[in-house]
Chain A
C-alpha cells in the first residue's frame, strides 16, 4: 500500500545489518585501523589510560542501567539508555585495547567481571548512587564535559586505536553533555523544588571535581562549560574542599563494591560458562 511504501522509505538506503543493530547504530569504529601497538609507546601508561576510561564508562553505564523502568518519563527511559549504551560500547572497545596492549590478551569480560573493586580505576563520581534525577544529570554533565574534553585530545593519541575510539566517543559525548546540560538548566530554572534539588545535587558533585583533573590541560575548558551551564540554570557551582583520595589510585567509596557485586554476580557464579 502506498502509505506503507512512503513509511518504508525511512528504512531504505541502509544495509540490512541495521536490522540487527543495537542502540544508536552499527559501525565498526575500528574499521581500517591498524591494531598493532606502535613502536616506542609506553604500554604501561597506555593500558592504564584505557582501563581508567573504560572503568569510568562501565561504572556510569551500570548506574544509568539502574534507571531502567524508574525514569521520570518514558522518553527519558529511551534517552538514558542511549547514553548508557554509548558508554558501554566505549568501555568494551577500551578494555579490548587494554588487553592487546598489556600483553595478557585478556578480553573485555576479564576486565569487567574478574577484577575486584581495588583494581578499578574509575573516578568516584561515577560510582556514587544515582540519587534523584537532579543528581544523576548533574553528575552526567560533569563526567560528560570532562570526558568530551579529554577524548577530543585523545583523537591525536599516538595509539591509532585509542585515537579511533576517542573519535567515535566525541560524537556520542557531545550529545550526552548537551542532554545533561539541558536538564541541569531545566531543573535549575524550573520550580522551587527542582531548583533546590539541583542546588543539592551540585553540592554533592563538587567535591569530586578535582579528581578528574589529572591528565592533560582540560580543567579550564571543563570548568568554563560547567560555569556556563550552571549560571544559565541559576544555580552556581559551589566552591568546596575536594574529597581526599582518588579513584584513579584505587581509593573508592563504599558504593563501588556492591555495584560490582551485582554486575559480576552471574558471571562469577558460573565461571566455566559461556554466554
Chain B
C-alpha cells in the first residue's frame, strides 16, 4: 500500500435526496480540498438530480465504532424493547396507529 503524499485524500459523500430526509452516505471520492470535493460530489453523485444538498468530509476525520466496541456500544439498546413500536399491544380496530 503506497500512498504517496501527492495523492488527493479520500472524502466521504453524503447526499440529502430531498427535503425532509437525512443526508445518506453514498460513497467516496478523491479531492485535493473541501471545495473540490463538493464539486466532484456534485458531478459524480448527483448527475441525475439525486440530491438537494451535499456533505463531504475527509474520511480520516470520521470517528467510527470498532468491531471490538460493538457489543458494549450497541447491545444496551437491544434490550430497550419499549423503544420499538411492536412492544405495544394495540387492538386491531384502533385506526391510524
A residues sitting closer than 8 Å to B (CB atoms) are: 6-7, 9-14, 18, 21, 23-25, 73, 75, 78-79, 82, 175, 178-179, 182, 186
3 smallest beta-carbon distances between A and B, as pairs = A25-B49, A75-B40, A10-B17
Residues of B within 8 Å of A14, CB to CB, are 48-50
Which of the residues A25, A75, A175 comes within 8 Å of B48, measured between beta carbons? A25
Q: Which residue of B lies closest to A183 (CB)?
A: B36
Q: How far is the CB of A71 from chain B (nearest CB, A)?
A: 12
Which of the residues A9, A10, A25, A79 comes within 8 Å of B40, measured between beta carbons? A79
| Contact A13–B18 (Cβ < 8 Å) | yes
Q: Which residue of B lies closest to A83 (CB)?
A: B43
Taken together as a complex, chains A and B put the C-alpha atoms of A33 and B43 apart, in Å, by 29
| Contact B36–A21 (Cβ < 8 Å) | no
Which of the residues A13, A18, A23, A75 comes within 8 Å of B31, measured between beta carbons? A75
Interface residues of B in 44-68 (CB under 8 A from A): 44, 47-51
Residues of B within 8 Å of A175, CB to CB, are 42
Residues A7 and B30 in contact in the complex (CB < 8 Å), given A13-B18, A182-B35: no
Residues of A within 8 Å of B8, CB to CB, are 73
Number of CB contacts from chain A to chain B under 8 A: 56
Interface hub of B26, B47, B48 (most chain A Cβ within 10 A):
B48
| Contact A78–B51 (Cβ < 8 Å) | no
Q: A13-B17, A79-B40, A82-B43 are in contact. List 17 more A-B contacts (CB 8 A).
A: A9-B21, A9-B24, A10-B17, A11-B17, A14-B48, A14-B49, A21-B49, A24-B47, A25-B49, A73-B8, A73-B30, A75-B31, A75-B43, A78-B43, A78-B44, A79-B39, A182-B39
Taken together as a complex, chains A and B put the C-alpha atoms of A6 and B14 apart, in Å, by 12
Q: Which residue of B lies closest to A12 (CB)?
A: B17
Size category, B interface: 20 to 34
Residues A186 and B48 in contact in the complex (CB < 8 Å), given A9-B17, A78-B43, A79-B39: no
| Contact A18–B24 (Cβ < 8 Å) | no
Taken together as a complex, chains A and B put the C-alpha atoms of A82 and B49 apart, in Å, by 13
Taken together as a complex, chains A and B put the C-alpha atoms of A73 and B6 apart, in Å, by 13
Taken together as a complex, chains A and B put the C-alpha atoms of A40 and B43 apart, in Å, by 42
Residues of B within 8 Å of A78, CB to CB, are 40, 43-44, 47
Residues of B within 8 Å of A7, CB to CB, are 24, 26
Residues of B within 8 Å of A11, CB to CB, are 17, 50
What are 23 pairs between A and B in contact, CB < 8 Å?
A: A10-B15, A10-B17, A10-B24, A10-B51, A11-B50, A14-B48, A14-B50, A18-B48, A18-B49, A21-B48, A21-B49, A23-B47, A25-B48, A75-B29, A75-B40, A78-B44, A79-B43, A82-B43, A82-B47, A175-B42, A178-B39, A179-B39, A186-B36
Q: How far is the CB of B20 from chain A (nearest CB, A)?
A: 9
Q: Which residue of B lies closest to A24 (CB)?
A: B47
Q: How far is the CB of A120 from chain B (nearest CB, A)?
A: 29
